[in-house]
Structure 1
Amino acid sequence: MTSVQGTAVDITTADGVADAYLAHPDDGLPHPGVVLYQDAFGLRPHLKSMADRLAAAGYTVLVPNVFYRYGRAPLFGLPEFIDPEARPEIFEEIFPVMRALTTELFLRDAGFYLQWLDDSPLVQEGPVALTGYCLGARLALLTAGGFPERIAAAAGFHGGRLATDAPDSPHLVAGNVTAELYFGHADEDASMPPEQQRLLEETLTAAGVRHRCEVYPGARHGYTQADTAAYDEAGTERHWAALLDLLDRTF
């Protein structure tokens, strides 16, 4: 197992300073860059452990706090184990922050995240990859469409509302995407029902995007997040296999 180093970094953006976590093999050498986009609960120990696992596979992984305008992570005073059914008030704090991160604001930030990786001696030259969870799946697709020349591959897991009738629905960027995409949908996910899955699939196919969309049977929204009640071990390990396969093919 490759030894990994994890550090806190700050990224200056047009609107302030985004705190982030950086994980990379502890060899001082440049490795392929990966941005890991958070779920709604934000940058926290579990996401850092996911970044560490990716770094151990040979990647330099950046996990930005996309909610940095509201403060440094952790923002929401989350319990060690997150069970939204037991603590529904959690979302009263989170939803306004999520809604405030418009597509325009996010894409402005994403350019600075990508530039930070481009400038880092720990990242090899060339395009980078993305992986995102829940909210982060949306952010990954938007980044792939917004910066096609910078993104070689992007994956999204248990993403919600990826293909809606909203004017800024993420699937509408498909025509700009040049990366290979992978989506692992949760089977039991009201935020990504079969009709949205079909629309996403049809739109990516029509745009000629290299992609694979799969449904994980019995998995709930959030299945990769081991510090939440939605965690599913089988789905999580399947996710790792799919993600690493995508990255191996890309780099």
Structure 2
Amino acid sequence: MPSKTLLIPTADGQADAFAVFPDRGDQFPGVLMYADGFGIRPVLREMARELAGHGYYVLVPNLFYRHGPAPVVELPEHIGEAARPQVMAQVMPLIHAHTAERVLRDTDAYLGFLTAQPEVGAGPLAVTGYCIGGLLAMRTAAAHPGRVAAVAAFHGPVGADGPDLFSKLTAQVHLGHAEGDLTPEALAELNQALDTSGVSYTSEIYPGTVHGFTMSDTDAFDAPGLNRHWDRLLPLLDRTLGQS
């Protein structure tokens, strides 16, 4: 399956990115995939390849390109509990520096770049994200209602911007929450805000999961949770991007 390392021109420089798409000569719906706070690494490339294998052009930008090319933070092969505090101490300043204003500037660049690729068709796009990338995916969909037809976020702080963000969404939404991140009461409150905004959505807690459950290079990984993630994400993209 073809893959590329790319440079995306942005208002603040150039963002390095990973892209992968099917190997048949054709055009495909575009999907922007936001990594978690640990950034582009083998597990993200694997997930992008898995998604591309279902007929999509998948673009994974380095969120923290202003601090250097990926990997911005040196990561162990497995991010276990012993390594996590040191890694998080390096990652959290990058996340805090990635302000909403920066996110929106980058979003314009990423979507413009994605739609300009010769392998990407002219139809609508989708955005998906993990952890902090889930919030970025929601912000992207809200900022580009005419271009983003679907948005999915997994174990992400999607309610951080409040109901005002939901009111701007026209995309179909799936939110997959870790059981360790959200109580049933908090889920009900979040879903009520989505209902009030008139969003077409599914939003559920994935049983037995903790924050980061999709990432196989961490102690949080949960194989049933990852499978459930694919079971929700792929039909959403099929419906909205015209693959079925």
Label 1:86 to 1:44 Cα distance change in 2 as closer, same or farther (>3 A).
closer
Corresponding position: 1:221 with 2:211: yes
Other-structure match for 1:65:
62
Q: Percent identity?
A: 46
Aligned-residue offset at 1:87: 3.5
Aligned-residue offset at 1:117: 1.1
Label 1:140 to 1:82 Cα distance change in 2 as closer, same or farther (>3 A).
same
Secondary structure of the residue that 2:105 maps to in structure 1?
Answer: helix
Corresponding position: 1:163 with 2:159: yes
Aligned-residue offset at 1:121: 1.0
Aligned-residue offset at 1:197: 2.6
Corresponding position: 1:95 with 2:92: yes
Of residues 197-206 and 116-125 in structure 1, the stretch that sits farther from structure 2 once superposed is 197-206
Aligned-residue offset at 1:188: 1.1
Structure 1: which amino acid aligns with 2:197?
A
Aligned-residue offset at 1:27: 1.6
Aligned-residue offset at 1:200: 2.3
Secondary structure of the residue that 1:215 maps to in structure 2?
Answer: strand
Structure 2: which amino acid aligns with 1:207?
S
Label 1:70 to 1:176 Cα distance change in 2 as closer, same or farther (>3 A).
same
Of residues 84-93 and 26-35 in structure 1, the stretch that sits farther from structure 2 once superposed is 84-93
Question: C-alpha separation between the residues in 1 aligned to 2:33 and 2:83?
Answer: 28
Other-structure match for 2:172:
180
1:118, 1:125 within 8 Å by CA — same for their partners in 2? yes
Question: C-alpha separation between the residues in 2 aligned to 1:134 and 1:214?
Answer: 15
Alignment of 1:1-251 (within 5 A): 4-160=1-157, 162-164=158-160, 169=161, 171-189=163-181, 192-250=182-240, 251=242
Question: C-alpha separation between the residues in 2 aligned to 1:203 and 1:59?
Answer: 31
2:16, 2:70 within 8 Å by CA — same for their partners in 1? yes
Label 1:180 to 1:87 Cα distance change in 2 as closer, same or farther (>3 A).
closer
Secondary structure of the residue that 1:61 maps to in structure 2?
Answer: strand
Aligned-residue offset at 1:126: 2.2
1:84, 1:90 within 8 Å by CA — same for their partners in 2? no
2:163, 2:197 within 8 Å by CA — same for their partners in 1? no
Question: C-alpha separation between the residues in 1 aligned to 2:50 and 2:162?
Answer: 28
Question: C-alpha separation between the residues in 2 aligned to 1:232 and 1:14?
Answer: 38
CA RMSD between the two structures: 1.3
Label 1:171 to 1:136 Cα distance change in 2 as closer, same or farther (>3 A).
farther
Label 1:32 to 1:215 Cα distance change in 2 as closer, same or farther (>3 A).
same
Runs of 4+ in 1 over 2 A off after TM superposition: 84-87, 192-200
Aligned-residue offset at 1:230: 0.4
Q: What are the Cα deviations for residues 112-171 of structure 1, in whole angstroms up to 9, with x where unaligned?
A: 0000111111111022001110011101111111111110000001112x224xxxx154
Question: C-alpha separation between the residues in 1 aligned to 2:186 and 2:100?
Answer: 19
Unaligned runs of 5+ in 2: none
Secondary structure of the residue that 1:188 maps to in structure 2?
Answer: coil
